[in-house]
Structure 1
């Protein structure tokens, strides 16, 4: 895939199935993530790869436990079930800010790492969805991912093979939010 095609056609997909990326393809995605700007080689991020059946079962249980513990209700439980079965591979991107440097810059670096994973997945023929919302603030998920006090789950990247009819590119009109000098 040509680089500009990749950058201008990547879309989130929530209709993901097997096959998932193999070990080498996952390694390539993670290597891409490590090439992002990181403010002096801080590497202010880490990754949790959820790919095995037991890992996926554990992840689904953590989502259900989050809903139950936080008393979020039946709709949230349905969302937890859906999220837990959304893709055969999940990569959590966690910002791990280092002391003495602005945390916001390190969070941006982690965000860039997440996007690099998505682009590398797409370049290898896979699609993905970036989830955040209530899950990234789950104290249970943070505990299971061994997050320290300042760590922040930036993204849950759901990765797999898209349905036969993926969404068309956005082809966004940039006029409303672009100024030229």
Structure 2
């Protein structure tokens, strides 16, 4: 698949199942994340790979976040689906250092966001589907502790990667064409 086709056809897939990337494919996916814009070559991100036996621990951490933030009953079903069906999750942690004057925190955060998106695109390029999870899940204190987050670190994404469970049943979605006139102006 050429790059423009990949960029214009990328979509989030929530119903994921095995297979997921093998170790060699995972290495390629993670390597792609290291080539994002990174002012000062700070690598303001870390990746925590969650798979196999660690999915049980991950499920517990998500359940603790659900309790911590008083999430509704649907959260429990979602947690089970995430932890029991997804073959691979990559937590992306933005390592923000507010003391680097040359590279402001917002730019460090954007670099980490680009790394997360690069992981998604690399996974798509290798034939895998994925979805980016954020929200209260990533703010859970037990998950933050398990990911060795310092006070200024931020888990910006839980990237679920696998294969589309319903791929054969789906009709190809239309492109997300927006009215560019509403979004683009020229100086």
TM-score (norm 2): 0.89
SS at match of 1:104: helix
Q: How many residues align?
A: 180
1:179 is aligned to: 185
What RMSD, in angstroms, separates the aligned Cα atoms of the two structures?
1.6
Instruction: For residue 150 of structure 2, give the secondary structure of its aligned residue in structure 1.
Output: coil
* C-alpha contact (below 8 Å) 1:11/1:170 kept by paired residues: no
Kept in 2: contact 1:128–1:158 (CA 8 A):
yes
**Contact 1:8/1:169 (<8 A) preserved:** no
Classify the secondary structure of the residue corresponding to 1:26.
helix
Question: Could you tell me which of 131, 145, 158 is aligned with 2:133?
Answer: 131
Change beyond 3 A, Cα 1:91–1:167: farther
- In the TM superposition, what is the alpha-carbon distance from 1:86 to its structure 2 partner? 4.7
TM-aligned CA deviation for residue 145 of structure 1:
0.6
Query: Does the 8 Å CA contact 2:89/2:160 hold for their aligned counterparts?
Result: yes
Compute the displacement of 1:46 (Å): 0.3
- Quote the residue 2:91 is aligned against: 92
Between 92-101 and 158-167, the greater mean CA deviation after superposition? 158-167
Alpha-carbon distance in 2 for matches of 1:14, 1:157: 11
Matches within 5 A, 1:55-134: 55-98=54-97, 99-100=99-100, 101-134=103-136
Question: Any gaps of 5 or more consecutive residues in structure 2?
Answer: none
- Deviations, residues 86-105 of structure 1 (Å, cap 9, x unaligned): 52110011000233131111
The CA deviation string for residues 93-123 of structure 1, in whole angstroms up to 9 with x for no partner, is 1000233131111000000000000000000
Residue 89 of structure 2 aligns to a residue in which SS?
strand
The residue that corresponds to 2:160 in the other structure is 158
Q: SS of the counterpart of 2:177?
A: coil
Query: Which consecutive residues of structure 1, in runs of 5 or more, have no partner in the other structure?
Result: none
Quickly say closer, same or farther: Cα 1:33–1:166, change in 2 above 3 A: farther
The alpha carbon displacement at 1:132 in A equals 0.2
CA shift digits 1:42-85 (9 cap, x unpaired) = 00000000122x11111011111222344434233233223323
Does structure 2 conserve the Cα–Cα contact (< 8 Å) formed by 1:64 and 1:81?
Answer: no
Give the secondary-structure state (helix, strand or coil) at the position aligned to 2:41: coil
In the TM superposition, what is the alpha-carbon distance from 1:167 to its structure 2 partner? 5.2
